[in-house]
Amino acid sequence: MTATLSRAETEAAPAHEFAGTWHLTRLALRRDRVVLPIWIVLLSIVPASSVKTFTQFYPTVADRLALQTGANANPSYALLYGPPFDLTTAGGFIAWRMAGFLALLTGLMVVFTVTRHTRAEEDTGRAELLASAVVGRYAALTSALLVAGGASVLIGLVQGVSLLGAGLPAAGSIAFGAAEALAGLGFTAVAAVAVQLAEYSRTANGIGTAVVGAAFLVRGAGDSTVDARWLSWLSPIGWVQQVRAFAVERWWVLLLPAAFALVAGGIGYWLLPRRDVGVGILPPRP
């Protein structure tokens, strides 16, 4: 009987570590009921709203070919926007001009969201109060990842549907939305690591935003330098553009951000029990 009880307690332990996750998720959504929808709406509607703008500014095939030629010849365009795979269509233009910047902004959104509902709660002491109730060790982190990751998926879904509704090809619309969603999930996982490393929310935000910014800069350096194109493959933002939405889609590239999100998220969960509440893995500055 003792062996049976011990086995039952062992099997119940993992579930207990996540106790209170849904309650914290609902609480986080209620707290973010204004700021999160603003992020989601702005990041979701921008791509489709630019379809008409493209046709107005580049109405003829000659105009679009001239744009393609100019973009190919100017490395500064690649630095800012990435490689111009196909600028003869509205979808290709939107993917070129917006994919990288949207991934950058989504990354910032999820970093701030995860930090706000994890490390910031520890700074104020609310996390310790919750821990004294029936809330598992992993509940706060899991709820923050659900909120930030869910927002990323919703943004990608709305982007894809809105582009499809604007008359763009289905394959490109799906590839664009999926790439943006997975980029958001990847940076959500980065934030999960950052909040374990840092002692304060400000530091966690600094680490997370530095990683997002570095991803954009590394992508830009790789795309604008002929001998260093491989650098863009080290960046989650580079992966978004290498999917080549509305050109010749490369679906296998989506596996890279998916794997990155799983690995980074796993590291975040692995680090969590190795620190105390209110303390980071990295030693504080003297």
- pLDDT tens digits, one per residue of 205-262: 999 999 999 999 999 999 998 888 899 999 999 999 999 999 999 999 999 999 999 9
Does position 12 have pLDDT exceeding 50, yes or no?
no
Can you tell me whether residue 148 is helix, strand or coil? helix
Q: How far apart are CA 277 and CA 115, in angstroms?
A: 14
Q: Where are the domains of the chain?
A: 19-81+98-274
Burial of 276 (0-12, 13-18, 19+ CB in 10 A): exposed
Report the distance separating Cα 141 and Cα 159, nearest Å: 27
Q: At 110, is the pLDDT very low, low, confident or very high (cuts 50, 70, 90)?
A: very high
Closest CA to 82 of 64, 69, 98: 98
Cβ atoms of 152 and 106 within 8 Å: the answer is yes
pLDDT of residue 19: 84
3-class secondary structure for 222-257?
HHHCHHHHHHHHHCHHHHHHHCCCCCCCCHHHHHHH
| pLDDT higher than 90, residue 107 | yes
Could you report the per-residue pLDDT of 229-239, keeping only the tens digit for each?
Answer: 899 999 999 99
Instruction: Using alpha carbons, select from 208, 188, 172 the residue that is nearest to residue 263.
Output: 188
- Does residue 284 or residue 235 have the better pLDDT? 235
CA–CA distance, 218 with 230 (Å, rounded to integer): 10
86: part of which helix (H) or strand (E)? none
In three-state secondary structure terms, 270 is helix
- The alpha helices in the chain, defined as continuous H runs, are 2-17, 21-31, 35-49, 51-57, 61-73, 75-81, 90-116, 119-124, 126-131, 139-165, 170-197, 201-224, 236-242, 255-271
Q: Cα separation of 191 and 107, whole Å?
A: 9
Amino acid of residue 171: A
* pLDDT tens-digit map of 258-282: 999 999 999 999 999 998 877 888 8
